[in-house]
Amino acid sequence: MTLGVFVTSTVAWFDISNNLIVNNLELGFSDKDKGVQVSFSANGTKYSTAAKDTLENETPYREKYPLVPVTSAYQSQWLNDSTVFDDTVPVLHVSPTDNDVTTVGFIQFPVYFTTAQDGYIYLDSKTSLKANTEENAKSASKNKISQSVLDKIERCSRVSFYSDDCGFKIYEPNVLQSSNTAFAGRLDLNPFDTYYDYNSSKEEILYGEYNKEDNPEIYHGLALSEDVPLVGDSDCFNAGTKAGVAPLDLETSISKGGLKIAHEKTYPLSEMTPPEDGQSLGNPITYCYMGEPKKVIMTVYVEGWDLDAVVAVVQASFNLNLVFNAVYMPKISK
């Protein structure tokens, strides 16, 4: 896949205007000789590769549809003991609150895998997601910003896969291990004024997903008579504390108050490719029986809680080369 995108401005990942445009999308397969193919409906045409034109004909994907930074937080709302796979797709939110579900701003469609033999589908080691340095250089020059800032798009993008047998897995590119991104914390959101948001009691607000049902005690420090200025560049994650406002004390809230912040569960590429020992199962995307199309919901998006999602950029582009591999073997009972 090759994607060109507009990332958020200096404000935050929930500022949805003029963000992320997809220019190109392509699926590739490393084991064509073994007969792996995909279609986009149960009885649709089967492909070994599917470029932009094919995807625009076969799926809801359109080149000029905008992407916006979203979040996969609040997964328990749609993925739980009562979830029915055939009636479900991964749900994303466009703000740090649990009620702002969005149906736009990301790429999502079913992929049906067909194999020549029974086996598991994995990502292939050729899979990559990299900043489009040529386009980013042009954008950096045009907008008078650093290209290195634009290139950070490759660290906050995600691809998820949801199947009935192997569950929900998020591929996090360009990391050796999961970033374990926190889905809650302080934010400079409303207004965006270089200070963390606070409530009418002049206490900083804890945004995001945490164990609210347990009524944890949220601790705050002492309010100071002077501003505590931010250190470094301003974005929604990095701000100062306004004079007279009690700063949020996350460490004490966790250690003494029973606060439990939700974190993103992702897999680096090394954990989604076939295990090298040839014996363990690892983290497959799904299992296919010979000749039977197997449905997987694929979603491409930018994770808004990732700290790289709110850098001071106007335009950025990235190239996504998504390659699948099959390992033919009997299905392992869990």
With respect to residue 246, please indicate whether it lies within any of the assigned structural domains: yes
187-245 tens-digit pLDDT: 998 888 999 999 999 999 999 999 999 999 999 999 999 999 999 988 889 999 999 99
Q: What DSSP line would sit under 166-227, residue for residue?
A: TEEEEE-TT-SS----BSEE----SS-SSB--B-TTSBB--EE-B-GGG-PPPPB----SS-
Query: What is the spatial distance between Cα 159 and Cα 301, in angstroms, rounded to a whole number?
Result: 6
Q: What DSSP line would sit under 259-319, residue for residue?
A: --B-B---B-GGGTSPPTTSSS----SEEE-TT--EEEEEEEEEBTTSGGGGSS-S-EEEE
Helix (H) or strand (E) holding 255: helix 250-255
Task: Kindly state whether residues 195 and 238 are assigned to the same domain.
Answer: yes
Task: Kindly state whether residues 11 and 54 are assigned to the same domain.
Answer: yes
Q: Cα 116 from chain centroid?
A: 31
Task: Kindly state whether residues 76 and 215 are assigned to the same domain.
Answer: no
- The pTM score is 0.90
Helix (H) or strand (E) holding 328: strand 316-328
Q: Cα 26 from chain centroid?
A: 18
Task: Kindly state whether residues 124 and 35 are assigned to the same domain.
Answer: yes
Q: Is 62 helix (H, G, I), strand (E, B) or coil?
A: coil
> Of 261, 285, 314, which residue is a domain's last?
261
With respect to residue 268, please indicate whether it lies within any of the assigned structural domains: no
Task: Kindly state whether residues 78 and 219 are assigned to the same domain.
Answer: no
Task: Kindly state whether residues 236 and 280 are assigned to the same domain.
Answer: no
Helix (H) or strand (E) holding 153: helix 153-156
Task: Kindly state whether residues 50 and 160 are assigned to the same domain.
Answer: yes
Task: Kindly state whether residues 57 and 199 are assigned to the same domain.
Answer: no
With respect to residue 333, please indicate whether it lies within any of the assigned structural domains: no
Task: Kindly state whether residues 69 and 206 are assigned to the same domain.
Answer: no
Mean pLDDT calculated for residue range 285-298? 96
Task: Kindly state whether residues 238 and 291 are assigned to the same domain.
Answer: no
> Of 261, 291, 313, which residue is a domain's last?
261
> Of 211, 233, 261, which residue is a domain's last?
261
Task: Kindly state whether residues 197 and 127 are assigned to the same domain.
Answer: no
Q: How many domains does the chain have?
A: 2
276-288 tens-digit pLDDT: 887 789 999 999 9
Grade residue 130 by pLDDT with cuts at 50, 70 and 90: confident
Q: What percent of the chain has pLDDT over 90?
A: 54
Mean pLDDT calculated for residue range 74-103? 94
27 lies in which domain range?
Answer: 2-172+273-328
Task: Kindly state whether residues 153 and 209 are assigned to the same domain.
Answer: no
